[in-house]
Amino acid sequence: MLAKTDNASTLTSPETLQDFYNRLKITRPEIPTPSLGLVNDIGHFNVFNRAVVCTNTPSAFSRRDFYKISLIIGNGILHYSDKQIEIRERALLFTNPNVPYAWESTSPTPNGYFCLFTENFIHNRNESLRESLLHKINDNPVVHINAEKEEFIKRIFSKMISEMDGDYVYKYDLLRNYVQLIAHEALKVIPEDKVFKLNNASARLTTQFIELLERQFPIGSTEHVLELRTAHDFAYRLLVHVNHLNHAVKEVTGKTTSHHIAKRITTEAIALLRHTEWNIAQIGYCLGFEYPANFNIFFKRQMGRSPKAFRN
In angstroms, rounded to a whole number, what is the distance separating the alpha carbons of residues 284 and 147?
Answer: 46
Residues 118 and 80 in one domain: yes
Domains identified in the chain, total number: 2
Cβ 203 vs Cβ 123: under 8 Å? no
**Strand ranges (DSSP E) for the chain?**
45-49, 67-73, 76-80, 83-87, 90-95, 101-105, 112-117, 142-144
Cis peptide before 218 (omega within 30 of 0): yes
Please indicate, yes or no, if residue 185 is contained in any of the structural domains.
yes
Query: Would you say residue 259 lies in a domain?
Result: yes
Residues 176 and 286 both lie in one domain: no
DSSP three-state, residue 187: helix
Question: Are residues 209 and 139 part of one domain?
Answer: no
**Domain shared by 240 and 187, yes or no:** no
Residues 175 and 238 in one domain: no
Burial tier of 94 (Cβ tally within 10 Å: 0-12, 13-18, 19+): buried
Q: What is the pLDDT of residue 58?
A: 87
281 and 208 inside one domain: yes
pLDDT score recorded for residue 122: 76
Boundary of a domain, candidates 177, 194, 211: 194
Q: Are residues 160 and 306 in the same domain?
A: no
Per-residue pLDDT reduced to its tens digit, 264-282: 999 889 889 988 899 999 9
Q: What is the DSSP string of 82-113?
A: TEEEEE-SEEEEEE-TTS-EEEEE-SSS--EE
Query: For the chain, which ranges sit under pLDDT 50?
Result: 1-11, 124, 137-138, 196-199
Give the chain's radius of gyration (CA, Å): 20
305: Cα within 13 Å, side-chain hemisphere: 8
- Looking at the domain assignment, is residue 6 inside a domain? no
pLDDT attached to residue 128: 54
172/250 same-domain check = no
> Domain residues for 289?
201-311
Last residue of some domain: 194, 228, 255?
194
CATH code, domain with 45? 2.60.120.280
Statement to judge: residues 45 and 183 lie in one domain: yes
pLDDT value at residue 262: 94
> CA-to-CA distance for 164 and 174, rounded, in angstroms?
10
| Structure letter (DSSP) for residue 38 | T
Alpha-carbon span 203 to 188, nearest angstrom = 18
For residue 131, the model assigns a pLDDT of 55
* C-alpha dihedral sign at 51, 57, 61, 63: negative
Q: Do 26 and 171 have their domain in common? A: yes
List, for residues 281-299, the tens digit of each pLDDT value.
Answer: 999 999 999 999 999 999 9
64 close to 109: Cβ distance less than 8 angstroms = no
Domain boundary among 145, 173, 194: 194
Does residue 4 lie in a domain region?
no
Is residue 10 included in any domain, yes or no? no
**162 and 141 within one domain:** yes
Give this prediction's pTM.
0.65
Cβ atoms within 10 Å of 239's Cβ, excluding its own = 6
Residue at 288 is within a domain: yes
- Residue 5 forms part of a structural domain: no
pLDDT the model gives residue 13? 64
Kindly state whether residues 176 and 227 are assigned to the same domain: no
CATH number at residue 298: 1.10.10.60
Give the per-residue pLDDT at 179: 92
On whether residue 12 sits in a domain, the answer given is no
